[in-house]
Amino acid sequence: MLPRTDILARLRETDPAKLEELRRQADAVRRENVGDDVHLRGLIEISNHCRRRCLYCGLRADNARVRRYRMTGDEILASARRAAEFGYGTVVLQGGEDPNITGEWLAEVIRRIKADPATCDLAITLSLGERSEEELALWRSAGADRYLLRFETSNRRLYEKIHPPRSPDAKDRFALLPMLKRLGYEVGTGIMVGIPGQSYNDLVADIELFKKLQPDMIGLGPFLPHPETPLGRESRPAGGDQPSNDEMTTWKMLALTRLACPAANIPGTTALATLNPADAYETSLQWGANVVMPNLTPPEYRRLYEIYPNKADARESAEEFHETWVRRITALGRGVGVGRGDSPSYLQRAAMLMETTMLLSKKTPRISRI
């Protein structure tokens, strides 16, 4: 692991030759650890209802301008079938923290995806915010494989400012991440780069926290101001200790994250593609990323999932997106991933767990019948 001062120096680096060296290093570590294949995950934005008031997010409960929707179980299953038809190994069910997505309702949707012959081989990733341990355990036992929950910033003071708690005793994201691991999920987290009030030292601490947590998946995107949110209105020019929310700062973070967590799955994010629709995905894949998440949300809902303005991929159909993607990946000289694309770190953990379970079962003395 790079020392703090080196991470900081690389984050502030402006020399093109040194930046290219960082990019090459991250790209080589990516190739060595997760290979050249790019895994495609079908993203389904299942609801834009949210009970939370996160200061950065356009879906926050206080934003009365959003027309809210929630997909039905049948609609979710139909989108999952599209993912399977395109050959994707994973669907990501993402949404606001919607209280009407109840534990049992979603468990049934998960069971249906896992029981349908067309979709039964798909890995299911959930990204539905801070839910109770009972709900998370229920969804895991219903068949959910992965859970994504970004901590957004490791600076506790900033974290608390931008995440007004739902109730004083609710577990925060830092407490939920180890619990998700204990429940057997493949766990993802991540941050936003350039949050007003964030510092360069905070970004260094984010990398150190990734290193400590060793998540299976890590998503990084620039903070994009939404005019209907308190943080969106809190403009703060980059400079001094305030990092920029631009592409280059995000790519530097992407590369440093790959060096800190070589075996993690790291996507090129929609937020980066929103800044630069022309080639941010490709560039991310050259700075350490190995995953892309084509959007399979039905178009009538997709435009309502406005976490920030002018979100990339809001208009293309699932077919267009898919075809473009296969072409773009091939043009980079990379392959399209086949199968679920579990992260090597998760596979190692699962194998160790299996070994321990087998060892314990051998050691447990049999109760002999008299």
Say whether residue 149 binds ligand SAM (CB under 6 A): yes
Nearest distance in Å: CB 54, ligand SAM: 7
Exactly one of 11, 40, 47, 56 binds ligand SAM (CB under 6 A); that residue is 56
Nearest distance in Å: CB 3, ligand SAM: 28
Measured from each CB, the residue nearest to ligand SAM is 129
**Cβ closest to ligand SAM, residue 59 vs residue 273:** 59
18-37 footprint of ligand SAM as x/- string (CB under 6 A)? --------------------
Say whether residue 162 binds ligand SAM (CB under 6 A): no
Exactly one of 30, 49, 150, 252 binds ligand SAM (CB under 6 A); that residue is 150
Exactly one of 122, 307, 312, 318 binds ligand SAM (CB under 6 A); that residue is 307
Say whether residue 318 binds ligand SAM (CB under 6 A): no
Nearest distance in Å: CB 85, ligand SAM: 25
**Cβ closest to ligand SAM, residue 116 vs residue 135:** 135
**Cβ closest to ligand SAM, residue 94 vs residue 286:** 94
| Contact call for residues 49 and 98 (beta carbons, < 8 A) | yes
Nearest distance in Å: CB 270, ligand SAM: 9
Say whether residue 226 binds ligand SAM (CB under 6 A): yes
The stretch near ligand SAM (CB under 6 A) out of 73-81, 101-109, 147-155, 358-366 is 147-155
Say whether residue 295 binds ligand SAM (CB under 6 A): no
3-state helix/strand/coil string of 143-161: CCCEEECCCECCCHHHHHH
Say whether residue 224 binds ligand SAM (CB under 6 A): yes
Give burial (CB, 10 Å; 0-12/13-18/19+) of 368.
exposed
Footprint of ligand SAM (CB under 6 A):
56-57, 59, 94, 96-97, 127-129, 149-150, 152, 192, 221, 223-224, 226, 271, 307-308
